[in-house]
Structure 1
Amino acid sequence: MSGRREFHAIHQPRAEAQARQLLARRDELKGQWLSWVAGQLYQLEPAEYAAMVRRELQRLSEQSPQ
């Protein structure tokens, strides 16, 4: 397995769970959610993991009504 594929396989479940947690705060934070979530994503490391969480957030946002 390549390094990138292995990283993705290992961290995908955690990235999806974290994205769900971030998305769960959207109704609570309302108009402030976008800047709050950007700050949360900025703090994630490594950058590859942050990108995974960002993609999961996008995917989950498209599935759920806003």
Structure 2
Amino acid sequence: MSRSEFHQQHAERATAEARRLLEHREIVGPRWLAWVATELYQLKPPEFAAMVRRELARLNEA
């Protein structure tokens, strides 16, 4: 599977996961960054984790 195909297949899921992580910011409080790092570390495959990380950054800037 090419990188483009992987991205197309998982883009919606990556956005949903990034939104879920952002929604927990107020719940987790000041430990949110450490919590997010742990959550991202557990995502597989690493390419998907990178997609979520990029989407998280994009949504956080908006």
TM-score, shorter chain, exceeding 0.5: yes
Tell me, in whole angstroms, the C-alpha distance in 1 between the residues paired with 2:12 and 2:52.
10
- What does residue 22 of structure 2 align with? 23
Deviation at 1:50, TM superposition (A): 0.2
1:18-52 per-position Cα deviation (integer Å, ceiling 9, x unaligned)? 00000000011111100000000000011000000
- What does residue 31 of structure 2 align with? 32
- What does residue 47 of structure 1 align with? 46
Task: Give runs of ≥4 in structure 1 deviating > 2 Å.
Answer: none
Aligned-residue CA RMSD (Å): 0.9
**Unaligned ranges ≥5, structure 2:** none
**Unaligned ranges ≥5, structure 1:** none
Tell me, in whole angstroms, the C-alpha distance in 2 between the residues paired with 1:44 and 1:25.
17
Number of matched pairs = 62
TM-score after normalising by structure 2: 0.96
Tell me, in whole angstroms, the C-alpha distance in 2 between the residues paired with 1:32 and 1:21.
16
TM-score after normalising by structure 1: 0.91
